[in-house]
Amino acid sequence: MQRRKLGNGGPEVSAIGMGCMSLGTVYGSAVGKDEAIALLRSAFEAGVTFFDTADAYGPFTNEKIVGEALAPFRDQAVIATKFGFDIDLGPGERIGGGTNSRPEHVKAVAEASLQRLRTDVIDIFYQHRVDPKVPIEDVAGAVKDLIREGKVRHFGMSKAGANTIRRAHSVQPVAALQSEYSLFWREPEREILPLLVELGIGFVPFSPLGKGFLTGKIDEMTIFDLADFRSTVPRLTPENRKTNFVLVAVLDRIASGKECTLAQLALAWVLSRKPWIVPIPGTTKAHRLAENLGASLVELSPDDLLEIDAVTSSIELSGARYPEALQKLVGR
């Protein structure tokens, strides 16, 4: 597995990381604990050194699984987790308290996450969502304190807007930004990527396979489980999937010519954008893990990239990427 450095001051990690959220219930039924641990260890054995989790995944159970799975080789793995929500363990064990990035809460979350992850330091500590009630300078200052104390190595932000990133970076350098980015969602190219270049911040795209749409396994006939988050995504309604499948068709043709899968082409394209971009596809299946990691071996020539841009630039995709209520929580 090739390795990449996240920005100017971030850690060196495997070129493809592993998003662990899908091991929970966000895409339907959760994976069993033993199966999840085996998958994470298989990923490490295959060369993955970068693992992404959050206190909100589960909640809490995802961090525990990641901590147990990586304990035998903790010193060789880079673990990222997140803070930023009040978690209400009421009916259904859901996030119900809204955002909370008050400094005292950030520090309390760090202590709890360290315990669940079975470690004495968090490699990247992301603010999961920008909290409009707390100045970002105070949030960055809290993480700066944790870094001074040796409990956190790097500060990260997730789904934040350009101005907020710039303000946070002036207090505590941001090592990495995590946001959605793929051939299915290219909005970060407008403002975010130029800012990351300017400030030397690494980029960690989640959903680099368009929430599974860029695998070619989802079409208008696919029925999502009611517990699957994708059943609420406007861009993935049956009508919009039918319209948007034209993107899959043209990319699948290019992938056939490269003798790789559609998913591998989509991941290789993300990798080609910048040398400090590290996608974190998630999966629950060993064969999909192997397929994803194979994308690091797919070489896209300048002509390949021009062709991809040419055939996709005229395709207008339908539907928002989030329901309206969730869209209000990102890009702030």
What is the per-residue DSSP string for 166-204? HHHHHHS-EEEEEEE-BTTB-GGGTTHHHHHHHHT-EEE
| Amino acid, res. 307 | E
pLDDT of residue 93: 43
Of these residues, 57, 126, 181, 322, which one is catalytic?
57
Distance between CA 51 and CA 19 in Å, rounded?
6
Listed range (95-99, 141-145, 195-199, 238-242) with the worst mean pLDDT: 95-99
Sketch the domain layout of the chain as residue ranges: 3-209+274-297
Q: What average pLDDT score do residues 210-218 get? A: 95
β-partners of residue 127 are: 83, 157
Active site residue 57: yes
Among 278, 262, 282, 258, smallest CA distance to 270 is for 278
Dig out the tokens for 287 from the structure: 């064969």
Mean pLDDT of 158-166: 97
Average pLDDT of the chain is: 94
Residue 88's pLDDT is what? 63
Global pTM value: 0.94
Residue 233 contacts residue 308 (beta carbons within 8 Å): no
CA–CA dist 123, 176 (Å, integer): 11
CATH class of 3-209+274-297: alpha beta
pLDDT confidence tier of residue 228, bands split at 50, 70 and 90: confident
Q: Could you tell me which residues are beta bridge partners of residue 85?
A: 99
